[in-house]
Amino acid sequence: MKKVITYGTFDLLHIGHINILRRAKELGDYLIVAVSTDEFNEKKGKKACYSFEDRKKILEAIRYVDMVIPEENWEQKEEDVKKYQIDTFVMGDDWEGKFDHLKELCEVVYLPRTKDISSTQIKDNIKDGKSMG
């Protein structure tokens, strides 16, 4: 069985999230999604609209996702690759090159982001009273 892992906050679920989850799942048989905890988001200077528990439940309901784990710190990625015997590590191409050190342990793939969509953009549009699309 080929295992794939990806990471993110996954707040305000949108088509870009679905696209990366679908494409990540297509790279293997079993997809693990590590979701940033509220505490880790705080350390990164981010504030999610939904709690970690809610974001975890939403992801668990998506057919491409086989397992959801908490992401609690930056250093965790290497530990997770070893612990879960990961074959392919996937991130959006906005992280290109940042995780190349993991290539010693597994394949590293940077997938193109979906154009013109992000949780930050959605939040800004809501604030400005604009619609998405």
* pLDDT (mean) for 113-126: 61
50-97 tens-digit pLDDT:
999 999 999 999 999 999 999 999 999 999 999 999 999 999 999 999
10-54 tens-digit pLDDT:
988 888 899 999 999 999 999 999 999 999 999 999 889 899 999
Catalytic one among 2, 3, 25, 46?
A: 46
Which residues sit opposite 70 in a β-bridge?
35
Which residues sit opposite 107 in a β-bridge?
88
pTM above 0.85, yes or no: yes
Catalytic one among 44, 57, 83, 130?
A: 44
Q: Active-site residue 44, yes or no?
A: yes
Burial class (CB in 10 A: 0-12, 13-18, 19+), 80: middle
CA 88 to CA 48: how far, in whole Å? 27
Amino acid at position 9, single letter: T
